[in-house]
Amino acid sequence: MARPPSSPSSPALRPLWVALGFVLTGLGVVGVVLPGIPGTGLLVLAAACFARGNPRWEAWLLSRPVVGQLVRDYRAGRGMPLRAKWAACTCILVAVAFSLSRLSSLPVQVALALVGLVGVLYITLRVPTRRP
């Protein structure tokens, strides 16, 4: 598997890259479970941070059963299975609809609806669909 290019990191910055990798990993795991948080994107960023800070932690992240597969698929350009795309878009729409029902400010509602629309459009039009 090809690793993405990473710029060399000075030894003084490596602990910061590792720390940021752990923060992003935690947020990414939460994002895999909760709608509205881009779990896969955060995990891809975590892997990139680990690659710059300590390749051993990158290998650890990539070896996780579900999380590692998401990152490896993204890096390889395989995209998402159709079922996952449907689930992600549904979660975005449900989270946006719920949030819109709780907000009273029209500008905030419009902004939230636009962000949700951009997310759905990105997933449906830009992320490749992985065929079985």
Per-residue pLDDT of the chain (132 residues; tens, 9 = 90+): 445 545 557 888 999 999 999 999 998 888 877 766 777 778 889 999 999 999 999 999 999 987 888 788 888 888 888 887 888 888 888 889 998 999 889 999 999 999 989 988 988 998 888 876
CA triple 90-96-98, angle to 5 deg:
100
Confirm whether 108 is domain-assigned.
Answer: yes
Cβ burial of 38 (10 Å; 0-12, 13-18, 19+) is middle
What residues make up the domain containing 37?
A: 14-75
Residues 30 and 68 both lie in one domain: yes
The total number of structural domains that make up the chain: 2
pTM of the model: 0.66
If you search the block for the tokens 């997933």, which residue do you land on?
123
Q: Is the dihedral angle over the CA atoms 101, 31, 84, 80 positive or is it negative?
A: positive
pLDDT at 92: 85
Residues 96 and 126 both lie in one domain: yes
Taking the C-alpha atoms of residue 123 and residue 105, their distance in angstroms, rounded to an integer, is: 27
pLDDT at 8: 56
Confirm whether 7 is domain-assigned.
Answer: no
pLDDT at 46: 93
The DSSP code sequence of 60-107 is HHHHSHHHHHHHHHHHTT--EEHHHHHHHHHHHHHHHHHHHHH---HH
